[in-house]
Chain A
Amino acid sequence: MRPLPPFFRWLTVAALADWLITRTLTRSAIFMPKSPPVIAVYQALTVIGQLAFTLTALVALIVIGWIAFHEWPREPRAHRAFGIPIAWLSLLALNLVFLVIPPQGWLAVGHHLLVVAVVGMIGWRTWSGAEEIRKRIAWSLPALALVAGELYQLSQTLFEALRWPGPSPFATTIFNLGELFVVLSPVGLWWAYRRNVETRPGASLLLPATLPALAFTVAHLLNPALTAIIAIWSTGLTLYLPWPVYAVSLWLAGDVVVSLRRSAAPATGAMLLLAAGGYTPQLSTQVFLGLIALWLLALPFDARSVSAVPSSRGEAWPQLPSSNALPQTAVEAPKP
């Protein structure tokens, strides 16, 4: 077993900075009074946010390239194993093409299909592997959310490419279904990763775990319309479900991230990347964050190996199997 390269952690930090600064804080700033100090802070935050976004985009491309390299089969006869790295490389190449040719028409349809194909391939491997059923289900919920988001965008793109009179009759249903999967994802991840961990966060950690849910609840009760607007700007969620569902989901997500923050649980980094990517992401970088998160979640992990004592910093990310034949056969034996 060897740790993941450090750029996975850099990606998470940069993506979180981009999400919280660019897509949440600076967008919320329009509701703040426009005094000169506030404007100066806002401008500084905008520059930091732009840098964080470029850093995220750059590191995401590096991570995609690294995953493709890592997944590349070392044995020439392993023809079937070439599918995933080729799909990752195609995504990388298509993203470079989109830098100069805007993604429209059939090119955009191809991109959406490729994303769905990558999710399908990782899913096939996850479901045909030896992981516990609850891990597979936990993986499937965010995967279904990502696929629903892609299908929602694909339906519109396809209608446009085919010059069909639209819009697609199923678009809204798919979108709402995807949002439901987003809300269920923390429940699944909590059930799969957090439930069996014997450690309980202390009082000092209870607050950070609860804070996002608490902040959301207070904001919603004070001003539901404003909360809905910031939620859609920040995460892409429309909040069409009853608000307590989102609050519970947010609390479970906070609990998983805080409780497993120093373990080798892929759920921690993956959940942060999924949150930073948002739902029905418009930018290719955000789609990459979702895909990388799903790839991380497909890595083997045993919750029982999580110790009450935080592990060393080098183990703060999931460990890779030494062979590059990924997860299905490489389930780590529980540590004593």
Chain B
Amino acid sequence: MNKRSLLSFSLILALAAALTFFKVPLASSQGVTLVAAQVSGELPMTSPDSELWGKASAIEVPLSAQNVTKPMLLNTKVRSVTARALHNGSQLALLVEWADDTQNDEMVRVQDFRDAAAVQFPLAQGLPFFCMGQQGGNVNIWHWKADWQADIAARQDMETLYPNMDVNQYPFAEGALPAPADYTDPNYVPALAVGNLFAAAHQSPVEDLIAGGFGSLTSQPADGQNVQGYGVWENGKWRVIFSRALTSKEASDVAFAPGKVYSMAFAAWDGANGERNGQKSTSQWVSLQLAGAAPAARPAQRAAAPYDWTGLAFVFGPMVLVAVLILGFAGSVAMLAAWTKKK
């Protein structure tokens, strides 16, 4: 490498180091954005076949196996989900679809695993780790479970799978033919008495959770379970709708507003493949944008205030800075070249 090349390379390397240090990006990428179309009237919260879904653009989100923490299963089956979103100014509905050859909605026997899907939203500024968040970066998770969906129609138990089974005795149960439903005394059903979601009859197939890293997944209290869901399996495909009011009183719930952009991530489980808990397919963060204008109060405030030039400076400032840096660099190289030539 001659002297001129060495000088040029040193300058470029120094500039690259400065740009790295000050975190100035020189590359751009087009993120995946799910736009929630604004519609009027009721949202199709239990109707994946509704024509209203045709008003929402679908995105295909690639998934890959969770492979960061144990237990992990590297050959998960769900490779992608298709997502659509609608909102009507007060409620948000998400339709998530994925291919699955089998319908697994029983979780009675130890060898049974359910099909499931989840969406998660960061609760803090910035993007925490896309898989369950991180310490200081909590995420709100909506977890739809196929067996909970089936339980709402008819609660499943051993008798469902083995109708001819016989139990000799249910201690402390009352009734001529004792059965689990006969346990009415809360002293003998403590989980039910304290509102354990897993013991109570499911009001919704979606569990509303919060997490801040691996091993921190926590159900929200029973009275804070405010996400609705509905799933249908047909012709080798699950179609699941998540719905919730845009706003929520709880701090552990994500709140939405039209015109704003949020981050979200997807996860899916194929029960037939033995997928459960951390053995799942997950996506990276994608953007969720709620169509429509931002809340009405803001334009009025803007109109009253003088024009804010800071936004413009924010847009063009870095562009001018980068242009000046590149021009300055080119000028330096040219001057050095001229100087070397003269010498």
Please measure, in the bound complex, the distance between the C-alpha atom of A103 and the C-alpha atom of B314, giving whole angstroms. 17
| Residue A160 interfacial (CB < 8 Å) | yes
Q: Which residues does chain A contribute within 8 Å of B15, judged by CB atoms? A: 58
Q: Which residues does chain A contribute within 8 Å of B16, judged by CB atoms? A: 51, 54-55, 58
Contact status B319-A51, CB under 8 Å: no
Q: Which residues does chain B contribute within 8 Å of A226, judged by CB atoms? A: 67, 74
Q: Which residues does chain B contribute within 8 Å of A99, judged by CB atoms? A: 25-26, 28, 318-319, 322
| Residue A16 interfacial (CB < 8 Å) | no
Contact status B326-A61, CB under 8 Å: yes
Contact status A103-B28, CB under 8 Å: yes
| Residue B93 interfacial (CB < 8 Å) | no
Contact status A283-B319, CB under 8 Å: no
Given contacts A51-B16, A166-B57, contact A103 B1 (CB under 8 A): no
User: Contacting A283 at CB < 8 Å: which of B13, B29, B65, B323?
Assistant: B29
Binary flags per residue of B205-248, CB closer than 8 Å to A gives 1, else 0: 00000000000000000000000000000000000000000000
| Residue B58 interfacial (CB < 8 Å) | yes
Contact status A283-B74, CB under 8 Å: no
| Residue B310 interfacial (CB < 8 Å) | no
Please measure, in the bound complex, the distance between the C-alpha atom of A114 and the C-alpha atom of B337, giving whole angstroms. 34
| Residue A309 interfacial (CB < 8 Å) | no
Binary flags per residue of B281-317, CB closer than 8 Å to A gives 1, else 0: 0000000000000000000000000000000001110
Please measure, in the bound complex, the distance between the C-alpha atom of A73 and the C-alpha atom of B193, giving whole angstroms. 83
Given contacts A30-B68, A156-B60, contact A6 B315 (CB under 8 A): no
Selecting from B31-39, B110-118, B144-152, B169-177, the interface stretch reads B31-39
Contact status B35-A61, CB under 8 Å: no
Minimum CB–CB distance for A25 against chain B, Å: 16
Selecting from A76-84, A90-98, A299-307, A325-333, the interface stretch reads A90-98
Q: Which residues does chain A contribute within 8 Å of B272, judged by CB atoms? A: none
| Residue A167 interfacial (CB < 8 Å) | yes
Chain B at the A interface: SS class: mixed
| Residue A217 interfacial (CB < 8 Å) | no
User: Contacting A103 at CB < 8 Å: which of B5, B30, B37?
Assistant: B30
Closest-by-CB residue of A relative to B74 is A225
Q: Which residues does chain B contribute within 8 Å of A153, judged by CB atoms? A: 30
Selecting from B48-56, B160-168, B181-189, B263-271, the interface stretch reads B48-56
Please measure, in the bound complex, the distance between the C-alpha atom of A103 and the C-alpha atom of B28, giving whole angstroms. 7
Minimum CB–CB distance for B11 against chain A, Å: 11
User: Contacting B64 at CB < 8 Å: which of A97, A160, A229?
Assistant: A229
Q: Which residues does chain B contribute within 8 Å of A101, judged by CB atoms? A: 315
User: Contacting A54 at CB < 8 Å: which of B26, B322, B323, B326?
Assistant: B26
Please measure, in the bound complex, the distance between the C-alpha atom of A285 and the C-alpha atom of B13, giving whole angstroms. 17
A-B contact pairs, 30 of them (CB 8 A): A6-B8, A7-B12, A30-B67, A50-B20, A51-B16, A54-B19, A55-B13, A55-B16, A58-B12, A58-B26, A95-B28, A96-B319, A97-B319, A99-B319, A99-B322, A100-B316, A102-B28, A156-B60, A157-B30, A159-B57, A160-B35, A163-B35, A165-B54, A167-B82, A171-B60, A229-B65, A229-B74, A283-B29, A284-B27, A284-B29
A positions within 8 Å CB-CB of B: 6-7, 10, 30-31, 50-51, 53-55, 57-59, 61-62, 95-104, 108, 111, 153, 156-157, 159-160, 163-167, 171, 223-226, 229, 232, 282-286
In the A-B complex, list the 5 residue pairs whose CB atoms are closest, starting with the nearest. A98-B28, A225-B74, A57-B26, A285-B27, A55-B16
Q: A55-B12, A104-B33, A165-B56 are in contact. List 11 more A-B contacts (CB 8 A).
A: A10-B9, A53-B27, A61-B326, A95-B27, A99-B318, A100-B315, A103-B29, A224-B75, A226-B74, A285-B27, A286-B27
